[in-house]
Structure 1
């Protein structure tokens, strides 16, 4: 996992100056892990060795994640190739953002080939993006209450989930206008919307996703095919007027697939030159099962990787949205 940029200074006049970690005395130096936590507990709180460098870094990530958000922020998670962990990254990123922020976070499955995001998050797929789109289109005016939209959303922890259509026949009918309508409705009631995109970059739904994205995560792996397809994703973005989005992207390298024969350092350096940051997501036995993701069962290095990824994306929350790129 690579180190992200240092946390930007928060203005002393903002609400962040009164955050709990800042004004509750000694709260920030209570260790949560390892021998430091054991010493604190065994001494009944009398001996506090303070937090170590790893926990201090986690606190910095959380502070960045909780930064001010002036308006809805849309994050696309994509790759030109399937099977590299794109859905896992979208799900875990959503869970981390929802857990560490006080506002609403939603994740949308825009995979037109019966995506598995809802399954990974343990959400019932009885309702889907198609049902939401049909409901909204049938209304005489704008939908103005979250309670009207809630029946179409699942809940995983604090994360709202909009599932993809599970019928292949119906999924083929999902067009860019449908996605844009669903995304617009979600951003009306949610502060952050993450889209788990399909694998075809030229698909009209993917183009609509990119047009509305404020941030991008490109998922790859340190293998010949995984790295080359991630690089091809960036090449495609550069060639289709999304160069700024590509340059500002965060590349997630899924270490689930790796080989000693591949020079991971060179792969990492290649993407570090092309994008804003690279985060390595380590192999995690719990994620490798492909079952419902339970955050409590994730290894600490995995959680740290997604904390870093979320912090890097949150660094752009205060930036004015760029004008939509040409299709």
Structure 2
């Protein structure tokens, strides 16, 4: 991925872009102050001053502008000033009152039985497995990795899987993790991530970003997640202009310099943004519902990935999601059918907490769900880091 002189931005541009950047017109900032790097607990560590390079499709540099501005206020364009969006709740307050208390993914009896099984199980084997997964999740990265999550249709748990991945990666990693919504529809990722309100969208940020911005500047436009990490929604939960490919390319190209891992909750296939994200990501997750038609359609997606010019299938993991406890499809047969092209399949069991909807509370997840989420994230990181 990187060149011998460490200029990975040029390689990144060649990989992700094939035309001029959109949203150009955003002015450049003055020389930045010494960069700071976010650390756990909100602390920052000073870093040596680095002269930023302007993002360019052809890898050329542009000089910094002498202008200065507050990075939290959108810069005006020559034609008209950029509007500052209002803050809107992710769930209508009248509806939020009806959510009720979150349920635990496991029943009381099942939790008690799981405790007894853990006492009698091989502790050494469990510790060894957890250690292996932790090592996969904590692998260092030299450039930001992008993980794209999609499915063949909506309502199968795509945003839920994206939220689980974002939370799991943030729990294990010490560097910044971003969960980005790239769904043109009225997605549910902000709600699942526990965001109470949203303001800036991916489209807004695409018009504001400049190479001189530091991580602390960028996070001013993002939504902090309760358990850690950051969220960038696709919109404000309104019907409006869909997120387009140019905006997606601009945002992912720019934000990869700030975040070690970006989990992208894509629109469903065969949407144009989803196809672009799947084609350019370092690792891919296809969420398949535990139904005959869902498994069949997902297998067609895998065959499409196998036909891409680069080895997209080798960096793909299937998340087989059960939305009901009464699924009649034979799970072993479904997994075997999906594995035929050579992909890894991770089964996500039915979870009462996830089925309830609303914000995901990690402590309320069933034990099997947490284990499956950790395994899925570990499989994804192993493939994302392997890509050069």
TM-score by length of 1: 0.76
Shift of 1:214: 0.4
Distance in 2, Cα, partners of 1:167 & 1:281:
27
Partner of 2:172: 100
Q: Quick check: 1:217 aligned with 2:217?
A: no
- Look up the SS of the partner of 1:193 in the other structure: strand
Give 3-state SS (helix, strand or coil) of 1:316's partner. helix
Q: Report the Cα offset of residue 217 of structure 1.
A: 0.5
Question: 2:185 maps to what in 1?
Answer: 113
Q: Which has the higher helix share?
A: 1
SS of the residue aligned with 1:200?
A: coil
The equivalent of 1:316 in structure 2 is 383
Of 149, 168, 171 in structure 2, the residue corresponding to residue 77 of structure 1 is: 149
CA shift at 1:130, angstroms?
1.8
- Write the distance in 2 (CA, Å) between the matches of 1:318 and 1:135: 29
Q: Tell me the equivalent position of 1:180.
A: 249
| 2:134 corresponds to which of 31, 54, 62 | 62
| CA pair 273-128 structure 1, distance change in 2 beyond 3 A | same
Indicate which of 190, 200, 211 corresponds to 1:127.
200
- Tell me if the contact between 1:222 and 1:259 (Cα under 8 Å) persists in the aligned partners: no
Helix, strand or coil: the match of 1:188?
coil
Contact 2:164 2:373 in 1 (8 A): yes
- The within-5 A match list for 1:14-93 is 34=115, 51-93=123-165
Contact 1:69/1:317 (8 A) holds in 2? no
Q: How far did 1:104 drift?
A: 1.0
- Mapping of residues 100-249 of structure 1, within 5 Å: 100-123=172-195, 124-136=197-209, 141-156=210-225, 157-166=227-236, 169-172=239-242, 174-201=243-270, 203-239=271-307, 241=308, 244-249=311-316
Q: How many angstroms does 1:262 deviate by?
A: 1.8
Residues 56 and 153 (structure 1 numbering): CA distance in 2 closer, same or farther, change over 3 Å?
same
- C-alpha displacement of 1:159: 1.8
Alpha-carbon separation, structure 2, partners of 1:236 and 1:37: 42
Match of 2:344 among 277, 280, 283: 277
d(CA) in 2 for partners of 1:147 and 1:104?
A: 11
CA distance in 1, matches of 2:117, 2:301: 44
Structure (1 or 2) with the larger CA radius of gyration? 2
Offset from partner CA, 1:189-247 (integer Å, 9 cap, x none): 0010111000132x3322321232000011002211221221122233345x2672124
Check 1:257–1:36 CA distance in 2 against 1; reply closer, same or farther (3 A cut).
closer
| 8 Å Cα contact 1:223-1:257 kept in structure 2 | no
Contact 1:251–1:275 (CA under 8 A) maintained in structure 2: no
User: How big is the shift at 1:288?
Assistant: 0.7
Q: CA-atom RMSD, angstroms?
A: 2.4
Q: Any idea what the Cα deviations from partners look like across 1:284-313, whole Å, max 9, x if unmatched?
A: 111111110011111111010011111111
Q: Secondary structure at the match of 1:292?
A: coil
SS of the residue corresponding to residue 340 of structure 2 reads helix
| SS, match of residue 123 in structure 2 | coil
Distance in 2, matches of 1:182 and 1:257, equals: 36
Distance 1:238 1:318 in 2: 20
Deviations along 1:55-100, one digit per CA (max 9) or x if unpaired, are 4312221122112222211110011211111110010011001100
The two structures have a TM-score, normalised by structure 2, of 0.65
